[in-house]
Amino acid sequence: MMMDPAHGTIGSDEADTREVQKNNFADAGGNAEPHQEARRVNNDPRANKQKGNQVRRDRRDVHGWVVLDKPIGMTSTQAVAVLKRLFNAKRAGHAGTLDPLASGGLPIALGEATKTVPFVMDGRKRYRFTVCWGEERDTDDIEGQVTATSDQRPTREAIEALLPRFTGVIEQVPPRYSAIKVQGERAYDLARDGEVVELAARPVEIHHLTLVDQPDNDRAVFEAECGKGTYVRALARDMGRILGTYGHICALRRTLVGPFSENNMIPLDQLEALCDRAASGEGSLADALMPVETALDDIPALAVTRADAARLHRGQAVLLRGRDAPTSSGTVYVTVAGRLLALAEVGNGEIIPKRVFNLTGLTASTGRNERN
């Protein structure tokens, strides 16, 4: 389980993605290019077309974040497809692949929120996971084939003494079944074809690693908070080897992704119920959305006048002088009248727009951030 940002879109996969149809157990990691459906020529003036007894609805502009409490058994790609259907949204993508057999936070970006996916991907992740001792598997998780066994079981004292070795910046060899490219091919494709995959160790950062429970001799429950690129599966594998037994991941729940915590998560059944109420006029889908700028919590905000906003919206730089000139440089998000306008770079008193937002359509309800 890669505790790292992952795909941002329907059908696009990167860092440790192994989809159900490939009989694999994916981690988090990858790209964030928003998926857009192919355009269709439509010369019919009517908004909808009939196909059999079904009506195909035109997709609409929906902008914001939904933090799905993903159920076990659903792939991240499937989850994005479900959310896209429920909201009838034109664009959707996710910010960190979550294993099919894992539950927990899967932030899904709709519309213009897809432009902020990289900021979530670069944030910290927190996981609660269970390691089963005594077996090492080729995928380093419960779905793989057993490659080594041991009758030894670690004591609590031995486990706790080991944890400092896996805290801070460490060198980690990614699992053979990962999406890392080897001479242009995904490692998991090579591994499935029976080829020997040798991946080089690389530095990753684990901020916290704690043993929270040991229900029996065969299992241990951990919590880890880590940075981009960390594989939980590799963590379980390496701890098992050093402890003189073997280990693999047998349960996983993600509890934090960047700015999104468990408090922000919404189960699929609740989201479907909200959509049903909204369809009958008893509620609004906007209540399920978090604002696009939620992903930008760690970035300074800069308010501009409407005149300057007009220039930035056209992609033109703006010079700020006097007391209005920003005193810092770097990335900011720009607002006008409290509304998100653009991502920009600031330097030498100049604002240079990099990504401009068009939030016409369905957006989060007023005060949505405050309620979370």
Cβ atoms of residues 309 and 326 within 8 Å: no
227 Cβ contact partners less than 8 Å away, ≥ 6 residues apart: 4, 124, 125, 204, 205, 206, 207
The answer to whether residues 265 and 105 touch, using CB atoms and an 8 Å cutoff, is yes
Looking at the DSSP bridge assignments, the partners of residue 206 are 168, 226
Question: How many CA atoms within 13 Å lie on the side-chain side of 92?
Answer: 28
Q: Please, are residues 75 and 24 in contact by the beta-carbon 8 Å criterion? A: no
Cβ 248 vs Cβ 141: under 8 Å? yes
Q: Which two tokens stand for residue 169?
A: 């910046």
Is residue 86 a contact partner of residue 57, using CB atoms and an 8 Å limit?
no
Q: Cα–Cα distance between 333 and 354 in angstroms, integer?
A: 10
Please give the distance of CA 235 from its chain centroid, rounded to a whole number.
20
**CA-CA distance, 318 to 360, in Å (whole number)?**
23
The Cβ of residue 171 has, within 10 Å, a number of other Cβ atoms equal to 10
Residue type, 276: D
Q: Residue 226 has what DSSP assignment?
A: E
Q: Is 4 a catalytic residue?
A: no
- What type of residue is 113? A
User: What count of Cα atoms within 13 Å lies in the side-chain half-sphere of residue 61?
Assistant: 8
Q: Using alpha carbons only, what angle is made at residue 234 by residues 231 and 235, rounded to the nearest 5 degrees?
A: 90
**Catalytic residue chosen out of the listed positions 99, 140, 238, 308:** 99
Contact assessment for residue 207 and residue 226, using Cβ atoms and an 8 Å cutoff:
yes
Compute the distance between CA of residue 306 and CA of residue 290 in angstroms, rounded to an integer. 25
Spatial distance between the Cα atoms of 319 and 97, rounded to a whole number of angstroms: 40
Q: Which residues are catalytic?
A: 99
